[in-house]
């Protein structure tokens, strides 16, 4: 009988040491549990607007089931280019400076592999999306954490970034509006971050997937800031604002040399994003503004309802300015973030995610998404209030 040679490992050190996603772990716990209200997974509860689905179905009927260019459909890249220039004043060549990817997560993965050599450092503010540090590690890099704080509105301090820079620092990875906190940085705040990056000659990776979900003021597109374009790769996609999570269409826009390097890797791995999703994304850009605006308005109303409800339940809660998450503090309950989430699920059948899934500074917090119906949110608030009352009396 053959077997594993003694004294050897069949998997890589990086794979063995990579922690499982804290989001997915709690999502898996929910499966099969009846009557659970899920406030854990960051996915719009809206169905993809029918006109977008219909464009895909029409394409299927016409036999559009082939590969596309590794860069993505030129028509989609042209629409992305027009949208970025029209809405944010940033110009990109559809032929050389945009690549369509299988979601923003693939864009991030390919980008980091395209820019990092072993041991290069990437500054990653926390709390942050769970994939940021993992993708840096998988690309052979080293994530360097800079913590943000609720007292500062979960915004990134330029002095903290400057202090984290070393001779090995290659890039700074930011995502605003922020997952998990819902924080938004102003144009002036982001400009100071760009200035630090320029002074240290860092690449900037700006994940703006939640940019359309900005409730107060307008979204600032980082490459449009002074001195930013030539050192910034913009990541964005269709999952959140267009309710197209399962379609897996994202994109990266940036300087031609970086996009070219990304395409070389993308061509050997994903080859191209699904053609049906790309065709649907064209329809979303051409005719999806009205449906998107309606979803954003409803998310804004849910945000106000849910934040008030959390405060009424006795939880201190930063008011999110974007995305569709709240990040309330549970420190005064006397239990850890993990225990709070596990007990809330077991005792009240409400699923939320421990703040530690998004970094060590998330201890004492939990992430709740308000991408759910008004009725579900009201019932969740009732259950959370009952649960917190038992913990604190």
Name the pLDDT band for 138 (thresholds 50, 70, 90).
Answer: very high
For the whole model, what pTM was predicted?
0.94
Nearest CA to 103 out of 232, 251, 279 is that of 251
For residues 30 and 85, state if they share a domain. Answer: no
In the prediction, which pLDDT does 105 show? 96
* Segment holding 32, helix H or strand E: none
In the prediction, which pLDDT does 34 show? 81
Question: Which CATH number does the domain housing residue 294 bear?
Answer: 3.90.1150.10
For residues 202 and 273, state if they share a domain. Answer: yes
For residues 200 and 275, state if they share a domain. Answer: yes
Distances (CA, A) of 382 to 27, 46, 171, 385: 21, 23, 44, 5
Across the range 310-327, mean pLDDT stands at 96
Which of 230, 260, 288 is the last residue in one of the domains? Answer: 288
Helices 289-312 and 374-392 pack at an angle, to 10 degrees, of 20
> Cβ-count burial of 25 within 10 angstroms (0-12 exposed, 13-18 middle, 19+ buried)?
middle
In the prediction, which pLDDT does 3 show? 61
For residues 101 and 225, state if they share a domain. Answer: yes
Residue 92's region, left for phi above 0, alpha for psi from -120 to 50, else beta, is beta
The SS3 assignment for 238 reads: coil
Q: How many domains does the chain have?
A: 2
d(CA 96, CA 88): 19
56 vs 4, more confident: 56
Across the range 97-116, mean pLDDT stands at 98
Across the range 104-123, mean pLDDT stands at 98
For residues 154 and 32, state if they share a domain. Answer: no
The SS3 assignment for 174 reads: strand
Name the pLDDT band for 8 (thresholds 50, 70, 90).
Answer: confident
In the prediction, which pLDDT does 5 show? 59
For residues 308 and 224, state if they share a domain. Answer: no
* pLDDT one-digit tens code per residue, 230-287: 999 999 999 999 999 999 999 999 999 999 999 999 999 999 999 999 999 999 999 9
> Cβ-count burial of 225 within 10 angstroms (0-12 exposed, 13-18 middle, 19+ buried)?
buried
For residues 314 and 368, state if they share a domain. Answer: yes
d(CA 142, CA 145): 10
Range in 133-137, 138-142, 351-355, 389-393 with the lowest mean pLDDT:
389-393
d(CA 373, CA 379): 10
**How large a percentage of the chain has pLDDT more than 90?**
90
pLDDT of residue 7 exceeding 90, the answer is: no
* Segment holding 304, helix H or strand E: helix 289-312
* Segment holding 262, helix H or strand E: helix 256-269
The SS3 assignment for 338 reads: helix
For residues 40 and 76, state if they share a domain. Answer: no
pLDDT of residue 27 exceeding 90, the answer is: no
* pLDDT one-digit tens code per residue, 187-237: 999 999 999 999 999 999 999 999 999 998 899 999 999 999 999 999 999
d(CA 288, CA 52): 8
In the prediction, which pLDDT does 141 show? 97
Question: Which CATH number does the domain housing residue 187 bear?
Answer: 3.40.640.10
For residues 40 and 67, state if they share a domain. Answer: no
Which of 253, 288, 323 is the last residue in one of the domains? Answer: 288
Domain limits at 374? 13-48+290-392
For residues 88 and 189, state if they share a domain. Answer: yes
For residues 218 and 345, state if they share a domain. Answer: no
For residues 22 and 171, state if they share a domain. Answer: no
Name the pLDDT band for 40 (thresholds 50, 70, 90).
Answer: confident
Name the pLDDT band for 6 (thresholds 50, 70, 90).
Answer: low
* Segment holding 2, helix H or strand E: none
Residue at token pair 């360097």: 144
Name the pLDDT band for 77 (thresholds 50, 70, 90).
Answer: very high
In the prediction, which pLDDT does 248 show? 96
Is 57 a domain residue? no
């Amino acid at each position: 009988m053959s077997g594993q040679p003694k004294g050897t490992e069949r998997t890589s050190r990086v794979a063995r040491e990579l922690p499982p996603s804290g989001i997915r772990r709690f999502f898996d716990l929910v499966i099969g549990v009846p009557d659970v209200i899920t406030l854990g997974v960051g996915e719009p509860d809206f169905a993809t607007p029918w006109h977008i689905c219909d464009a895909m179905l029409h394409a299927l009927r016409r036999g559009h089931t082939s590969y596309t260019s590794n860069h993505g459909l030129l028509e989609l890249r042209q629409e992305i280019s027009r949208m970025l220039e029209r809405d944010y004043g940033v110009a990109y060549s559809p032929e050389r400076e945009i690549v369509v990817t299988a979601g923003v997560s693939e864009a991030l993965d390919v980008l980091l592999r395209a820019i990092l050599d072993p041991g290069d450092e990437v500054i990653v503010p926390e709390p942050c999306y769970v994939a940021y540090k993992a993708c840096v590690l998988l690309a052979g890099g080293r994530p360097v954490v800079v913590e943000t704080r609720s007292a500062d509105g979960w915004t990134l301090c330029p002095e903290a970034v400057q202090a984290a820079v070393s001779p090995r620092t290659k890039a700074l990875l930011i995502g605003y509006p922020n997952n998990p906190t819902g924080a938004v940085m102003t144009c002036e705040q982001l400009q100071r971050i760009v200035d630090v990056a320029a002074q240290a000659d860092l690449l900037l990776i700006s994940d703006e997937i939640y940019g359309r979900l900005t409730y107060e003021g307008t979204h600032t597109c980082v490459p449009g800031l002074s001195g930013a374009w030539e050192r910034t790769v913009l990541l964005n996609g269709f999952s959140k604002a267009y309710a197209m999570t399962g379609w897996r269409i994202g994109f990266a826009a940036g300087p031609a040399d970086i996009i070219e390097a990304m395409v070389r890797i993308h061509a050997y791995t994903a080859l191209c994003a699904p053609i049906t999703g790309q065709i649907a994304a064209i329809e979303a850009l051409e005719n999806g503004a009205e449906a998107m605006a309606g979803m954003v308005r409803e998310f804004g109303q849910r945000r106000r309802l849910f934040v008030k409800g959390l405060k009424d339940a006795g939880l201190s809660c930063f008011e999110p300015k974007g995305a569709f998450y709240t990040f309330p503090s549970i420190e005064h309950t006397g239990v850890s973030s993990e225990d709070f989430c596990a007990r809330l699920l077991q005792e009240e059948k409400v699923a939320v995610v421990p703040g530690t899934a998004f970094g060590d500074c998330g201890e004492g917090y939990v992430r709740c998404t308000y991408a759910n119906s008004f009725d579900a949110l009201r019932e969740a608030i009732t259950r959370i209030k009952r649960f917190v009352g038992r913990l604190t009396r």
